[in-house]
């Protein structure tokens, strides 16, 4: 999705929770999870299963970020990555201040933070809830606070269809996404004519949807959003300034109101800068 945005050659500051690492030479030629773990064990015997999995994941994620940064640069975008905990207001403010000092005022925000800790409500601890709820809700609040003095023309938040329909084992995730949609509606009224969108995504074929979860969706007959189609729809929404502040996006047949193949889109509410026809 970031790569699709980079085709317009913007300046992109990417804030993420993962710090970039310098991986050991032993893993340079290891390209899948199993190979990375074998290389790590050969390099450093005695790693426990949990630490081994954590180290391997850090390498994979760091590689993915570096590949994305390289692709954005190749597409002509100016891009920088800042590792930051969105739950910490002071860290977010400092990171955004650094971007502002280098590039000038912030004009657009796309808030796509998301963490999954799926458990039934009676098994969900306070820490589990905070791990899911805080990056989305507190993270958005911290970003909005840090950009309060900037001339934002675009504010996009990534919500989920779970915020409207719920989902088993995702009480914290559903609550967080429902809050994001409400915040977007409020910000749309307050910031008009700024473009404000809450995109209530259905499940994606990738990202937080693990292979096991993808198999479950397939078994249930739930179609998944292909990354290229989702990225294309985001670009459409960035250009469609006259439309509603909340949009449900799911995989399915082509709808007459949109152009991204394989997706269906339903709009809720009306952007405050566009009155209801016939209204006084």
250 with 164: CB under 8 angstroms? no
264 with 251: CB under 8 angstroms? yes
Residues 119 and 29 in one domain: no
Residues 169 and 279 in one domain: yes
The answer to whether residue 88 sits within a structural domain is no
Backbone angles phi, psi at 91, to 5 degrees: -70, -40
Q: Rounded to an integer, what distance in angstroms lies between the CA atom of residue 95 and that of residue 143?
A: 10
The answer to whether residue 146 sits within a structural domain is yes
pTM equals: 0.84
Give me the domain span that covers residue 119.
105-280
Residues 178 and 253 in one domain: yes
Residues 269 and 206 in one domain: yes
The answer to whether residue 125 sits within a structural domain is yes
The answer to whether residue 93 sits within a structural domain is no
Residues 64 and 153 in one domain: no
The CATH number linked to 234 is: 3.40.50.720
The answer to whether residue 100 sits within a structural domain is no
The answer to whether residue 99 sits within a structural domain is no
Total domains in the fold of the chain: 2
Q: Would you state the structure tokens that stand for residue 131, as one six-digit string?
A: 């791990």
Residues 203 and 137 in one domain: yes
Q: What is the pLDDT along the chain (280 residues), one digit of tens a residue?
A: 898 899 889 999 999 998 898 888 989 999 999 999 999 998 888 889 999 999 999 999 999 999 999 999 999 999 999 999 999 999 999 999 999 999 999 999 999 998 888 888 889 899 999 999 999 999 999 999 999 999 999 999 999 988 888 878 889 999 999 999 999 999 998 888 899 999 998 888 877 777 777 777 777 778 888 888 888 889 888 887 666 788 888 886 444 444 444 677 777 765 544 433 333 2
């Amino acid at each position: 999705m970031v790569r699709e945005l980079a085709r317009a050659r913007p300046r992109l500051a990417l804030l993420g929770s993962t710090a970039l690492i310098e991986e050991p030479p032993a893993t340079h030629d290891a390209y899948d999870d199993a190979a990375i773990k074998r290389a790590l064990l050969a390099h450093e015997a005695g790693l426990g299963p949990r630490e081994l999995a954590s180290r391997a994941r850090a390498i994979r994620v760091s590689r993915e970020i570096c590949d994305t940064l390289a692709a954005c640069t190749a597409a002509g975008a100016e891009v920088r990555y800042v590792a930051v905990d969105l739950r910490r207001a002071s860290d977010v403010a400092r990171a955004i201040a650094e971007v502002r000092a280098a590039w000038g005022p912030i004009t657009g925000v796309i808030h796509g933070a998301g963490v999954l800790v799926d458990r039934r409500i009676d098994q969900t601890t306070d820490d589990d809830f905070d791990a899911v709820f805080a990056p989305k809700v507190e993270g958005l609040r911290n970003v909005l606070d840090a950009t309060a003095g900037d001339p934002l023309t675009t504010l996009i938040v990534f919500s989920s269809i779970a915020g409207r329909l719920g989902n088993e084992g995702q009480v914290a995730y559903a609550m967080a996404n429902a809050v994001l949609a409400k915040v977007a509606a409020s910000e749309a009224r307050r910031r008009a004519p700024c473009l404000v969108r809450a995109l209530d995504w259905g499940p994606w074929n990738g990202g937080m949807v693990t292979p096991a979860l993808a198999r479950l969706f397939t078994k249930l007959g739930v179609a998944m959003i292909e990354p290229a189609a989702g990225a294309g729809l985001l670009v459409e929404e960035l250009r469609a300034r006259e439309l509603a502040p909340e949009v449900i996006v799911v995989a399915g047949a082509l709808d007459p109101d949109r152009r991204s193949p394989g997706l269906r889109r339903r709009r809720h509410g009306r952007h405050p800068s566009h009155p209801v026809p016939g209204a006084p």
